[in-house]
Amino acid sequence: MSDSLPLRIALLASCTIDLIKEPLAATLSARDIAADFWIAGFGQYRQLLIDPESECYRFDPHIAILYLDAEDLFAPLLEHPLDFNKSEREELVQQCTAELADLVAQLKRRLPRISIFLNTVAIPPLNILGSLEYNSTFSVKQAASIYNNALVGIAHQNPGVVIIDVAALVDWLGYANWHDARLWHLARSRWSRSATRLLGRRYAAAIAALCGKMRKCIVLDLDNTLWGGIVGEDGVEGLRLGEEGTGLAFREFQTQLLSLQRQGILLAVCSKNNPDDALQVIRSHPAMCLREEHFAAMRINWADKASNLCSLAKELNIGLDAMVFVDDNPVERSWLREALPEVFVPDWPRDPSDYKNRSEEHTSELQSR
């Protein structure tokens, strides 16, 4: 993919996909990725991918996003679940996965270098079966499990296929917030506005990774970010960090960061602090999960954080656009956004109990697949 030419992205779906273009384009633009889009008509993905002369192939996309929704794929099962016994249910799913595998194969045969984004599916959590879902031979949720497991095989057999875990996003946002019945009736869109924005960001993060623009480094403040309290005022013993209360929240956040570090994400420190005080905590506090060796670089001084981030980027040989800066102080966050717009500075919760969840929410900024 050339840096000088816009990416050509084809959007195809079993439902209306038009609404995702704006948040996807905006997020890509923020990553300095220009894109041209071609959008399939409502539910027309089959005929467009089967026909070698279709507009989709004439567009010659670099990336095809093929979004298929469980409520479209399994509509007969969801509407009349008592009409399907176990074998018939499995046969329906096998037909769906076989068709998908065939469409992917046709795309790859005609456009060998294309990247194809598929998605896991989620069944609505409440359905007409009620308690029969787990207390009888009838089930609709089993269909999603079989389908999602089959996606792994399709991806392994077709290099360039990327699976976006939409089912996890639905769980995160909650189905009631993911689906907007009014938008479905008016525009045949399966997503609420919140879901559309979230999905657009997730696709953009995966596309950015394909373009080599993945966020690679989390730069962390220390006081009230990695631990509770201010070490210069409270001392090492007075910090909130441990196995109980607020201290546990900070420890859980550190555990999350350690997991990311083990996956290859760089961790760095940028803190206005006395270096000796801060390093004493990192080296010797018994509840610290993150030690000195887990940080690729540190800037613990009284210089402004923008200068420190530029210095860190130079030392680590990465661009500022590869960095995520985490700080509990809203003033510092606002100033960093103005000073270094290339750096991703997420809003951060006031309550440390939410730190771990917020880091999980932004994990897609750091992972390509």
Q: What is the DSSP track for 187-201?
A: H---S-HHHHHHHHH
Q: Give the separation between CA 277 and CA 257, rounded to whole angstroms.
A: 22
Percent share of the chain, pLDDT over 70: 97
Q: From its phi and psi, is residue 160 left (phi > 0), alpha (psi between -120 and 50) or beta?
A: left
**Distance between CA atoms of 94 and 79, rounded to whole angstroms?**
19
> Is residue 368 over pLDDT 80?
no
Alpha-carbon 221 to chain mean position: 23
Per DSSP bridges, beta strands 217-220 and 323-326 are: parallel
- In tens, the pLDDT along 69-101 reads 999 999 999 999 999 999 999 999 999 999 999
Rg of the Cα trace of the chain? Answer: 23
> How far, CA to CA in Å, does 69 sit from each of 105, 151, 227, 341?
20, 14, 42, 36
Q: What is the pLDDT of residue 366?
A: 64
pTM of the entire predicted model: 0.82
Q: What angle do CA 194, 198, 201 make, to 5 degrees?
A: 140
Binned at pLDDT 50, 70 and 90, residue 369 comes out as very low
> What value does the mean pLDDT take over residues 87-116?
96
Q: Average model confidence (pLDDT) for the chain?
A: 93
Identify the bridge partners of residue 297 per DSSP, sorted by sequence position: 268
Model confidence band, residue 364 (pLDDT cutoffs 50, 70, 90): low
With 80 as the cut, is the pLDDT of residue 208 above it?
Answer: yes
Residue 122: name the closest of 42, 49, 177 by CA. 177
